[in-house]
A and B are shown apart, each in its own frame.
Chain A
Amino acid sequence: MSTQPLLEVDHLKVDFRTDEGLVHAVDDVSFRLGQSEVLAVVGESGSGKSVTAMTLMGLTRSPNARFEGSARLRGQELITASDDELRKLRGKEIAMIFQDPMTSLNPVHRIGKQIVEQIQAHDDVSDAEARDRVVTLLDRVGIPRSRERIDSYPHEFSGGMRQRVMIAMALSCDPGVLIADEPTTALDVTIQAQILREMRDLRERTGTSIILVTHDLGVVADIADRIAVMYSGRIVETGTLDEIFYDPQHPYTWGLLGSIARIDRPRPHRLPSIPGQPPSLIDRPEGCHFRPRCRHEFEDCPKYPELEGRIGQAPGHDDRCWLPVEEKRDRRVVADGQIGLEAEGATA
């Protein structure tokens, strides 16, 4: 990991005005992304992961959206950038892969054309050159017979193949940052593993930094360098892979770890999940947002918890839980020799 962060996000807030009220989709999110680092953003659905990711590209801009805070890519401010400045960055400096490969490609254009369109938006190259680049890209992401397949339409591909096309498209201009928003959620398990391997190889070869958004901690174990756990619009804990897996500080993280589906063990009948309702983003409890679902609540919890180092000897391992460190270590349940934890009461 290099020392100079590529992407710095500070106190990012995103609110949406809706008929039901003000939705606080992203609330005081800060993180750093280093050169060729893989950051996994993990959390239940609705926790603001996609909004965070899309806001970096300006894709959440709308008359109903309000933004605060800052996000800088190589020092360039993204939140207040003009639409035109952002357009030049999109696809070139930051590229994004979306969740559903079945609907993310335009059904009426050939896939080659769709990638060429992106290349020619940024680089002044001839059609023939752009096409050659696409063939190379398709080869690189493992699409066989790329010279023929370049003229296929999206519906002629399977879901996994379409996601590879999306990856090829995202990589077409050598972006510094690749955001993958649940890139494998819509795919079946074997394809999931292939796509993740593809992404890992990619980082090795090109040095691209990756933000991997997922609701499944199990997905990130062999690809992420750092993890940010999101809950109700906030990052509640962040640290290296090992720190999060072996010394988790926030009770929400304990719950998430308990609900990992393990490939190396028989699948439980019912995946243990965190009890309680997912939070409303409109009316939120004061202080810690996880309070209503937390069984360790005490008198400090209504105070606003900053995301900060609370352990001392682990810089970069930050969390938002008021519990004293020793107490946390006593209260969580770690099963021996396993990655992760079992949720309390969910051990079978």
Chain B
Amino acid sequence: MARFIVRRLIGMAIVMLVVSFLTFLIFFKIPGGDPADRLAGKYATPGQVAAVEREWGFDKPFWIQYGNMMEKTFTGDLISYTRQDKVVERIIDGAPRTFSLAIGAALIWLVLGVALGLFSALRAGALSDRFLTVLALIGISMPVFWLGALANYYLGYKAGLFPDGGYVPISEGGLWEWFKHMILPWSVLATLFVGVYSRVLRNQVLDTINDDYVRTARAKGISERRVMGRHVLRNSMIPIVTLWGLDFGYVLGGGAILTETVFDLQGVGDYFAESIGALDVPPVMAVVLFGAFFIVLLNGIVDIVYAALDPRIRLS
């Protein structure tokens, strides 16, 4: 276990290094991405631009620039090219918003996905199963920005049932205000995943239910509930838990960009989208590192949980 963790930490460092390097390289090569031009302003003289270049270090070789940026990221001194504020502070401010969204939505899609998938499997072929299949397909194919905009407009703006977007920290508005602001984003983000998860679980259950050990379990004379819970569901959940960990890591790392944007949550994903649009390299680098960290972290946790759920798997 200790060796596994050490190896994973090394792996994590490598992944973050590679990802950040590639990101930097891409932005370095993008035409029109020269930050000195923009920092110096629209009407700057070539001399002013050159001064900015020297001041910010844009005249240094590629490797030095990359090294400087990485160093500043970890010391917290990284400055945005456009707003010229501290990037790490923006991320620290956005993280609770992103985490609120990710944790709530992930719980909803796990619980609902499993519940609906199990229900569907137990009624496989029946009308209710087919209805849920159609519903899941609709959920899967519904674009988040469209669904989000609709929900925001009709349920938030028109009906006034929910606030139309924005985020209120618990420390400012209390638990209830925070919750009210999160309900729509959670539901919209979870919709896609509920569709996927309920399908995956349904098929897993239908597969597992024909396994020999389930027949053995029935032959033992234990209750049908126990057969379903301890034998069918227990085994069907293994791939779901794996999937969930990976998706959760992605959303936690700021991957739910559309949801964050539509509901104006101003989380890390929102910040990322804004920075990409402005070709603002420092925040892009920092958010990429932030995202990679959570994805790799959750990957490692998934491996540990997977081994705990299935004794045939060894951590190696």
Binding site for B on A (CB under 8 A): 57, 59, 83, 87-92, 95-96, 98, 100, 103-109, 117-118, 121-122, 153, 155, 166, 169
Instruction: Please determine whether B220 and A90 come into contact, CB atoms closer than 8 angstroms.
Output: yes
Q: What distance in Å separates the Cβ of A6 from its nearest Cβ neighbour in chain B?
A: 18
Q: Assuming A107-B235, A108-B235, A169-B216, what are 6 further A-B pairs, CB within 8 angstroms? A: A88-B221, A96-B219, A104-B212, A108-B234, A108-B238, A121-B221
* Cα A169 to Cα B218 with chains together (Å): 13
**Quick one: given A153-B311, A155-B311, A155-B312, are A105 and B222 in contact (CB under 8 Å)?**
no
Most buried by B among A100, A105, A108, A117: A108
Instruction: Please determine whether B221 and A89 come into contact, CB atoms closer than 8 angstroms.
Output: yes
- 26 A-B Cβ contacts within 8 A? A59-B219, A88-B221, A90-B220, A92-B221, A95-B219, A98-B216, A98-B219, A103-B211, A103-B212, A106-B213, A106-B216, A106-B234, A106-B235, A107-B213, A107-B310, A107-B311, A107-B312, A108-B311, A117-B222, A118-B221, A118-B222, A121-B221, A121-B222, A121-B226, A122-B221, A169-B216
Q: Is B223 interfacial (CB-CB < 8 Å)?
A: yes
Q: What distance in Å separates the Cβ of B126 from its nearest Cβ neighbour in chain A?
A: 10
A118 contacts across to B, CB distance below 8 A: 220-222
Q: Is B230 interfacial (CB-CB < 8 Å)?
A: yes
B221 contacts across to A, CB distance below 8 A: 87-92, 118, 121-122
Select one of A89, A105, A108, A153 contacting B216, CB under 8 A: A105
* Cα A103 to Cα B208 with chains together (Å): 12
8 A Cβ contacts from B297-311 to A: 309-311
Instruction: Please determine whether A109 and B219 come into contact, CB atoms closer than 8 angstroms.
Output: no
Instruction: Please determine whether B309 and A108 come into contact, CB atoms closer than 8 angstroms.
Output: yes
Q: Which 8 A-B pairs have the closest CB atoms?
A: A91-B221, A90-B221, A118-B220, A103-B212, A106-B213, A91-B220, A153-B311, A121-B222
Q: What distance in Å separates the Cβ of B235 from its nearest Cβ neighbour in chain A?
A: 6
Instruction: Please determine whether A121 and B223 come into contact, CB atoms closer than 8 angstroms.
Output: yes
A100 contacts across to B, CB distance below 8 A: 212
A90 contacts across to B, CB distance below 8 A: 218-221
Q: What distance in Å separates the Cβ of A320 from its nearest Cβ neighbour in chain B?
A: 31
Q: What distance in Å separates the Cβ of A53 from its nearest Cβ neighbour in chain B?
A: 10
Interface of B is mostly: helix
B231 contacts across to A, CB distance below 8 A: 106
Residue of A nearest to B238 (CB): A108
Residue of B nearest to A119 (CB): B220
A153 contacts across to B, CB distance below 8 A: 311-312
Instruction: Please determine whether B310 and A104 come into contact, CB atoms closer than 8 angstroms.
Output: no
A92 contacts across to B, CB distance below 8 A: 221
B310 contacts across to A, CB distance below 8 A: 107-108
Interface size class on chain B is 20 to 34
Q: Is B16 interfacial (CB-CB < 8 Å)?
A: no
8 A Cβ contacts from B207-242 to A: 211-213, 215-224, 226, 230-231, 234-235, 238
Instruction: Please determine whether A109 and B230 come into contact, CB atoms closer than 8 angstroms.
Output: yes
Q: What distance in Å separates the Cβ of A73 from its nearest Cβ neighbour in chain B?
A: 14
B216 contacts across to A, CB distance below 8 A: 98, 104-106, 166, 169
**Quick one: given A153-B311, A153-B312, A155-B311, are A106 and B222 in contact (CB under 8 Å)?**
no
Q: What distance in Å separates the Cβ of B315 from its nearest Cβ neighbour in chain A?
A: 15
Q: What distance in Å separates the Cβ of A185 from its nearest Cβ neighbour in chain B?
A: 13
Residue of A nearest to B223 (CB): A87
Q: What distance in Å separates the Cβ of B174 from its nearest Cβ neighbour in chain A?
A: 43
Instruction: Please determine whether A98 and B311 come into contact, CB atoms closer than 8 angstroms.
Output: no
A89 contacts across to B, CB distance below 8 A: 221
Residue of A nearest to B222 (CB): A121
Residue of B nearest to A88 (CB): B221
Residue of A nearest to B218 (CB): A59
A59 contacts across to B, CB distance below 8 A: 215, 218-219
* Cα A83 to Cα B224 with chains together (Å): 10
Instruction: Please determine whether B312 and A105 come into contact, CB atoms closer than 8 angstroms.
Output: no
Residue of B nearest to A92 (CB): B221
**Quick one: given A121-B223, A153-B311, A155-B312, are A105 and B218 in contact (CB under 8 Å)?**
no
B217 contacts across to A, CB distance below 8 A: 106
Most buried by A among B215, B217, B219: B219
* Cα A96 to Cα B235 with chains together (Å): 22
* Cα A91 to Cα B222 with chains together (Å): 9
Instruction: Please determine whether B219 and A91 come into contact, CB atoms closer than 8 angstroms.
Output: yes
Q: What distance in Å separates the Cβ of A21 from its nearest Cβ neighbour in chain B?
A: 19
Q: What distance in Å separates the Cβ of B128 from its nearest Cβ neighbour in chain A?
A: 15
Residue of A nearest to B215 (CB): A59
Instruction: Please determine whether B213 and A104 come into contact, CB atoms closer than 8 angstroms.
Output: yes
Most buried by A among B220, B311, B312: B220
Q: What distance in Å separates the Cβ of A346 from its nearest Cβ neighbour in chain B?
A: 35
A169 contacts across to B, CB distance below 8 A: 216, 220
* Cα A100 to Cα B215 with chains together (Å): 12
Q: What distance in Å separates the Cβ of B209 from its nearest Cβ neighbour in chain A?
A: 11
B211 contacts across to A, CB distance below 8 A: 103
A122 contacts across to B, CB distance below 8 A: 221
Residue of A nearest to B125 (CB): A63
* Cα A277 to Cα B42 with chains together (Å): 88
* Cα A109 to Cα B216 with chains together (Å): 13
Q: What distance in Å separates the Cβ of A209 from its nearest Cβ neighbour in chain B?
A: 17
8 A Cβ contacts from B2-18 to A: none
* Cα A88 to Cα B310 with chains together (Å): 30
Most buried by B among A89, A98, A106, A153: A106
B224 contacts across to A, CB distance below 8 A: 83, 87
Instruction: Please determine whether A121 and B312 come into contact, CB atoms closer than 8 angstroms.
Output: no
A166 contacts across to B, CB distance below 8 A: 216
Q: What distance in Å separates the Cβ of A96 from its nearest Cβ neighbour in chain B?
A: 5
Q: What distance in Å separates the Cβ of B129 from its nearest Cβ neighbour in chain A?
A: 14
